[in-house]
Amino acid sequence: MVEWSDGWTIYIWLISGVAILIAVVFGLRWASKNEQFDEDIKYLVFDDNDRDKMSPEEFKKYQEATAKQENRRSELLNQAHEGSK
Cα 66 to Cα 38: distance, rounded to the nearest angstrom: 12
Ramachandran assignment for 35, one of left (phi > 0), alpha (psi -120 to 50 degrees), beta (any other) = left
Residue 1 pLDDT exceeds 60 = no
Residues in the chain: 85
> pLDDT digit string (tens) for 41-85?
788 788 888 889 889 999 999 999 889 989 988 998 998 888 876
Between 84 and 17, the higher pLDDT residue: 17
**83, HSE (Cβ side, Cα atoms, 13 Å):** 6
